[in-house]
Structure 1
Amino acid sequence: MATSGTVIKDMYDVGLKPRMIRTLLKEDVPDDKIPFDSPSKLSRIISCIQSHKLLSEPSITDNNKQIERWKSSVDDWITRLLSLISNTTSTPDKCWAGVCLLGVTCQECNADRFLRSYAAWFDKMLTHIQSRGDSQFVKVAACASISDLITRLAGFPNVKKEGVSLAGKVIQPVLKLLNEDSSEAVLEGAIHLLCSIIASFPNTLQRHHESVEAAITSRIFSGKFSVNLMKKLAHCLALLPRSKGDEDSWISAMRKVLLLVNGYLTEIFTGLEEETKWDEAVRLLVPPGEVPPPSLWGQKLLEDTSDKERKRSKLCSISMLMLSCCEMLTNSYPVQVSVPVRSLLALIERVLMVDGSLPPTTSSLVILAEQEFICSELPVLHSYALELLTSVIKGIRSQLLPHAAYIVRLVKEYFKRCELPELRIKVYSITKLLLMSMGIGIAIYLAQEVVNSSIHDLNPILDGASLHANAKSEILVQPFHRKRKHGVAGSLEQLHERIGLEVETSKNCPTAISVKIAALGALETLLTVGGGLRSESWRSKADNLLITIATESCKEGWVSDERKTFLPNESTQACSDLQLAALRALLASLLSPSRVRPPHLAPALELFREGRQEIGTKVSEFCAYALLALDVLIHPRALPLADFPSASSFNEVNHRFPENNTYSVAQKHSNPFSSGMQDTGRGLSDSDDDLYKSWLDSSKETEAPAGKNMTEKPSETLRVQQGRKYSLGWFIRCKKSLEK
């Protein structure tokens, strides 16, 4: 039976910490007697240390004995780890475990212990990077643990000088690993350590900048490694200008990348584009009077070659260099720099405008096999070009305004060319980013293209799920007009004609559900940003399309039901995401500023009420939110005073309302955006516009001039004076009643 002094109060008891450490040392952490038979045991040890904060050692508690026990157990812990690392007779797996656990200790121990011991720990781990006899996974663990140590050391400003000194000792061993070792795991560890040094102590690399840059670029140009490692190399290359931290270093690195990419593109796109593209790129990148360098980082800018493997390697290098540009544009930098926006956009356009087709004048220069090879590689190249365009928009922000027209033209042109789902998703994402970053000014020029492209991508839902469209679904699409009655059209052709589905029948192929979701997201953003425009040319198409898509996507039942979904070939999660995207876009359509009452409010409310009945789904949560957001359209919180007639004019306009005036007024103002406007689905009629204009022109004449009798038509004069505070709807109704 345990004594009273060893009883644990609960899992938060401080006395539990040292006991857990000693249990780990006794049962799990290897030594000369305890074998290390399973790497999964290491993850359990690390999880226990991090969850219970076993190495944190608080300096102040109510019980000094507990502090001493905890301190003693952490001392034993570190002694065991250093023994595993230093013992030359230890097996590689035990040494690996000791190095990994020491890296965790650098992160978890308290500040006092770390500052006392970091130098000794660093020396122990550095020997495993420099040693030739250690196994590769021990070197990888040593790189990761030193990275953890340097990262935490950067958080103590008082030891910055010591941190720079320690980081400087790592540069040469890391360069040796980059230049000599061909193992991807070791290279990845070395790159990770190098990035940590640049992020924590960038000045350390200032003297070694050129050698580190050459080592990284040589690995990128080799093209022999996995995509994951190549991306990490590109990330490290983008961080290198921080070692100097001035504007010239950043601009020089960007110019090098752009010149090399354009040079490689000239070789690969021979016969597929105009021959002047290289000259245009050089003219933008090299100042007048200067001669472009013949090579960069040991690579020739222009090289005649027909070797397919060499071209494939250069295409991989182009992709990684463009990714490096993306990192340079989006990562923070110590000083403000001048970005060569025009050169970046020219490079993006150069890549996106090549689709593999042969111009008539150059068709003889490209053989069929080369054309096939280029076409097979273009989707990846286009994807990275779109990523670069996204980074330009994110990184440039306000400086992008002079180039907005160029970007809009490029996006609109590529929308017409692009057909691959992955690329169309990226274009929709770029469109959303443009709308959110530049607002209504860009929406004016992109709106029609977004609507047309969305109709193109969402149309297959109508063709696949609505060929049996009946009168019920037709009524849901029909706008609600108060003064006109329309017959219910039952044919799909009439439905398409009203929505504006201007898509050829040959293009009605199945569209990926992810593309549909992207199209709905773009429409949602467009309506949110630019819905208030005088946009009758596209707004009605978008509104009708969204109510149709939402209705069709939900009419077969919600995805959580056991009933067959509307897209049986898609996964349940994908169908749920599509339903949610359709409902989100529909809500944006209803809430977007408009000059008329939302024509599809009633069927949309019914959809949201049905969706709210589902339990435990994202769709039900959103439908509940949508009903709350739409409540202001159904029950306005405050009715404008302009629509309550004054006592002097009540009798003259009373005949225009039904007997139940209270209900009539409330009904007229169910939408705060449409008070006083004719609900015809097209805003104010032309006669109303002319009437309002004529009223403004004659308002001054209605007021009696000085010295004349003011009592001839008191009610009319009173209305004119009060009308200045009233709404446009009140002006129109009063004027019409007076004319009668």
Structure 2
Amino acid sequence: MAAAFESLGDMYDVALKPRLLHTLMTEDVPDEKGPLDSSKLSRVVSVIKTHKLLSECFSETMEEKQIKRWKSAVEDWLNRLISLLDSINMPDKCWAGICLLGVTSQECSPERFSASYMAWFDKLLSTMQSSGDSQFLMVASCASMSDLITRLAGFPKLKKDGTSCAGKLIQPLLNMLKEDSTDTVQERALHLLCTIITSFPASLPRYYDSVEAAIATKILSGNVSLNLQKKLAYCLALLPKSKGDEDSWLSLLRRILMLSNGFLTDGLRGFEEKSKQDEAVRLMFPPGKETPKTIWGHTLVEEVSGKEKRMSKLSPVLLLMSSCSTMLTSSYPVQVNVPVRSLLALVERVLMVHGTLSDSMSSFVIAAEQEYVCSELPVLHSYGLDLLSALIKGMRSQLLPHAAYIVRLVKEYFRRCHLPDLRKKVYSISQMLLISMGVGIADYLAQEVVNNALVDLHSVAHHTIGARSNAFSEASLQPFQRKRKHNANGVLEQQQNTSALELTLLDNKSAAMPVKIAALEAIEALLTVGGALRSKSWGSSIDNLIMNIANNCCIGRWGNERSFLSDEHTSVHSDFQLAALRALLASLLSQSSTRPPHLAQSLQLFRRGRQETGTNISYFCAHALLALEVLVHPRALPLIDSHLKNSHDEVEENTMYRIDDILHQRWIDGTKETEGSPDYVERQTNMEETPCETLSTVHQSGEKTSVGNAEAEMRPGNDEMMVDVRQPNNEIAPGDRTSVGNAEAKKRSGNDAMMAVLGKPNNETAQLQDFASIGSAEDDDSVAPGDKSTELDYNRDVALASPKRAAAIGVDVESDNESIDSMPDIKDVDPDSD
């Protein structure tokens, strides 16, 4: 008692642990005579786990007095739990003791567990067998026993004792499954059985046949809840682990396939082609092999008619296919041979049935039967797709010999599938095929994925609703307005800040949004795996589609900003934005031979998204900007030889930027020329006579565009280069406008910079636009119109003075109506300057 009056050092003082244990036993876990408040048990468990009250972790610096107090407190705690367990006549206190004993077996020290586990096991087993009609005591006993078995499996030296203890539990668990107990009790019993199979598989072989029969009987009965069905299917799939040999695994899988095909033959009679049945049977039973009549006491094939009979046949197929999926994706001790063709035949049988009656059976099937089959087909198709997905996950590249069969099946089902949940799974399967089988599969699957994605993503890429379409058009030119307008009453006008994606959600199309996200993920996988081999038939259309989607879904609002949508829709909005940005990055990086046409606009999106700090979008946009650095600053590209600097015909196909050797040498040497120096005067004279080719770029179509009369400045010793591209019909703020024409080197105080300007003027609308400013110091990202008269007058003056100069800067004296498509501009400045 004297310890209760001693002051503690802090919350980490060891003296706190025994005192907390005694306080819990006094206030929250009373003995068998005091009242029990079950609502306090959650706090008891939380305090024990947080402060490690049962760990008995003694350090060398601890005093012997502190060690004794802690050990004594733990022993008092265990005695209290045992007394509660013995209170069988007071179920609530017995239940509390059972639950807390399970927590104790997890949290106590290894030494304490090794010394006490056998006594705890006997107490829990006795409670399981004597609880009688008390269902909640049986549930608690199974849960605590699972905790004890799991902890016992972590002691290799106790493996023999653990196997013996686990073997004592099998028969009581079988009785729970066979008896008419509640679904909750059976679920906990199955959970404990799965724990035993995983932790001590050697305890099960002598009971293997009995356990398999009990589980199969429950599955085939069909009178169980959905949660119990999942537990039964999972436990059946784990059973072969108890033997750990190839024959056990393959034998169980074949029995499941035989029974599934037999049930499908009965349940889908009149709804599928006879050839599909014959093919499945031929693969399951090769010539000369005897066909079993029954499996687990059920006849394989029998004539059925009526809705109830079909229901009894189709319902078990779902659980059997679920077991197959678990067997294919779970680890197994030895390598096994998977009957791939038999599994694919079962998947094809399921997916190719769409509820249409065959001509020969149309008069024998009543409307109620067809109605039931059609109502169950979406669920059946979903499980069939799950089985195909599990086969791909489990086999991966080993499925290459069957790739043509799988691709044909996926393409054929894609054309018929219209339900959103099923289309989402088909996209996911396509994505897994591309990732697991590599670029070889992309050539065969690409067109089908692209065609379906164009359909599913069309509403977001080209979304217009009434008058709001004008707002989107204006917002697309200035997509990142920070200032929000208010109406006369001071209410925020959300119309212009509403993205096309948000309007899609508000139009009750949110159910299809997971499909759109899955489509983008499949496109991302396609571009990542096979983007370098893109076909002209779909390459440009996908690039434009992704760019439009990324623009539309990011207009007005990003994922973490407030919206008038619900939390659920806001989460979908953020997920879709992230999927669109991921696909956009894959589109940019997959174009290896040409410069991406939407690079500048994409950089602006990523730069804006990076500012949404603390979100997944922000992290990804920062990663995207880093990944695109090689396209923005291609420093690793080799410089051209000096004899090629004046030749337009010898430009290589894939060269994106080329720098004049004289300017490059000036960059390396770091020399500074003054305006009056001979070198400076000579250079100015040469540049007046002959335009300097400082840049050349290659369009996606392969057209080479040379850069003439480029105005250049370089910073000595600095590798930063700023490139501005002149574009028609675009605007730039007055402060950013750079005059183009005479290639005079501008002098700046103490530092010369190189700025190469690509001149492609349109004489009627000569404008510049700064799309890819990666570090603007201004908060407002909008682009204001600039003054164009100065540039036009200057270009015309140059044209009249020197026809050679006019040709260099692209000014046509005779005709000023010709427009040339131009590349977007890129500024290479410090990305962190904003």
Report the TM-score when normalising by structure 2. 0.72
Q: Report matched runs for 1:99-498 at 5 Å.
A: 99-131=98-130, 133=132, 135-465=134-464
Residue 113 to residue 128, structure 1, CA distance change in 2 (3 Å): same
In the TM superposition, what is the alpha-carbon distance from 1:258 to its structure 2 partner? 0.4
In the TM superposition, what is the alpha-carbon distance from 1:93 to its structure 2 partner? 1.0
CA contact (8 A) 2:325 2:386 kept: yes
Correspondence for 1:631: 629
CA contact (8 A) 2:240 2:252 kept: yes
In the TM superposition, what is the alpha-carbon distance from 1:555 to its structure 2 partner? 2.4
Residue 652 to residue 610, structure 1, CA distance change in 2 (3 Å): closer
Separation in 2 of the partners of 1:119 and 1:178? 25
In the TM superposition, what is the alpha-carbon distance from 1:179 to its structure 2 partner? 0.6
Residue 152 to residue 510, structure 1, CA distance change in 2 (3 Å): closer
What letter matches 1:52 in structure 2? H
Which deviates more from structure 2 when the two are superposed, residues 258-267 or residues 56-65?
A: 56-65
Correspondence for 1:712: none
Residue 658 to residue 317, structure 1, CA distance change in 2 (3 Å): closer
Residue 654 to residue 512, structure 1, CA distance change in 2 (3 Å): closer
Separation in 2 of the partners of 1:335 and 1:625? 41
Q: Deviations over 1:441-463 (max 9, x none)?
A: 11111111111110010012245
Correspondence for 1:682: 701
In the TM superposition, what is the alpha-carbon distance from 1:41 to its structure 2 partner? 1.5
Separation in 1 of the partners of 2:658 and 2:107? 78
Higher radius of gyration, 1 or 2? 2
Which deviates more from structure 2 when the two are superposed, residues 585-594 or residues 45-54?
A: 585-594
Separation in 2 of the partners of 1:243 and 1:564? 55
Residue 598 to residue 473, structure 1, CA distance change in 2 (3 Å): farther
How many residue pairs align between the two structures?
640
Three-state SS of the structure 2 residue aligned to 1:358 is coil
Q: Deviations over 1:397-419 (max 9, x none)?
A: 23211111111111111111111
> What are structure 2's unaligned runs of at least 5 residues?
478-507, 666-693, 705-834
CA contact (8 A) 1:81 1:101 kept: yes
Q: Say if 2:641 is the partner of 1:645.
A: yes
Residue 652 to residue 556, structure 1, CA distance change in 2 (3 Å): closer
CA contact (8 A) 1:56 1:108 kept: yes
CA contact (8 A) 1:457 1:511 kept: no
Separation in 1 of the partners of 2:629 and 2:99? 57
Correspondence for 2:489: none
In the TM superposition, what is the alpha-carbon distance from 1:663 to its structure 2 partner? 11
Q: Say if 2:647 is the partner of 1:612.
A: no
Across the aligned residues of Structure 1 and Structure 2, the Cα RMSD in angstroms comes to 3.0
Q: Deviations over 1:350-382 (max 9, x none)?
A: 100111122334322322221111110011111
Correspondence for 1:701: none
Correspondence for 2:598: 600
Correspondence for 2:503: none
Residue 653 to residue 341, structure 1, CA distance change in 2 (3 Å): closer
What letter matches 1:595 in structure 2? S
In the TM superposition, what is the alpha-carbon distance from 1:210 to its structure 2 partner? 0.6
In the TM superposition, what is the alpha-carbon distance from 1:134 to its structure 2 partner? 5.3
In the TM superposition, what is the alpha-carbon distance from 1:470 to its structure 2 partner? 6.7
CA contact (8 A) 2:267 2:311 kept: no
Separation in 1 of the partners of 2:516 and 2:622? 23
Residue 2 to residue 639, structure 1, CA distance change in 2 (3 Å): farther
Correspondence for 2:43: 44
Three-state SS of the structure 2 residue aligned to 1:363 is coil
Correspondence for 1:555: 555
* Percent sequence identity over aligned pairs: 59
Q: Say if 2:582 is the partner of 1:584.
A: yes
CA contact (8 A) 1:128 1:134 kept: no
CA contact (8 A) 1:476 1:603 kept: no
What letter matches 2:581 in structure 1? L
Separation in 1 of the partners of 2:449 and 2:70? 64
Separation in 2 of the partners of 1:542 and 1:475? 23
In the TM superposition, what is the alpha-carbon distance from 1:509 to its structure 2 partner? 8.6
In the TM superposition, what is the alpha-carbon distance from 1:5 to its structure 2 partner? 7.7
Correspondence for 2:74: 74
In the TM superposition, what is the alpha-carbon distance from 1:527 to its structure 2 partner? 0.7
Correspondence for 1:704: none
In the TM superposition, what is the alpha-carbon distance from 1:476 to its structure 2 partner? 7.8
Residue 615 to residue 163, structure 1, CA distance change in 2 (3 Å): closer
Say which structure is richer in helix. 1
Correspondence for 1:16: 16
What letter matches 2:699 in structure 1? T
Residue 511 to residue 595, structure 1, CA distance change in 2 (3 Å): farther
Separation in 2 of the partners of 1:605 and 1:24? 59
Q: Deviations over 1:39-90 (max 9, x none)?
A: x31111111111111111124432121111111111011111111112333x
Residue 466 to residue 64, structure 1, CA distance change in 2 (3 Å): same
In the TM superposition, what is the alpha-carbon distance from 1:301 to its structure 2 partner? 1.1
Q: Deviations over 1:2-36 (max 9, x none)?
A: 98982211111111111111111111113223222
Residue 439 to residue 602, structure 1, CA distance change in 2 (3 Å): same
Correspondence for 1:494: none
CA contact (8 A) 1:263 1:278 kept: no
Separation in 1 of the partners of 2:133 and 2:16? 37
CA contact (8 A) 1:677 1:684 kept: no
Q: Deviations over 1:517-569 (max 9, x none)?
A: 1111111111111111042221111101101111122224335445678xx99
Q: Say if 2:546 is the partner of 1:531.
A: no
Three-state SS of the structure 2 residue aligned to 1:236 is helix
Separation in 2 of the partners of 1:557 and 1:161? 62
Three-state SS of the structure 2 residue aligned to 1:588 is helix
Separation in 1 of the partners of 2:521 and 2:290? 47
Correspondence for 2:518: 518
Separation in 2 of the partners of 1:320 and 1:383? 12
Correspondence for 2:796: none
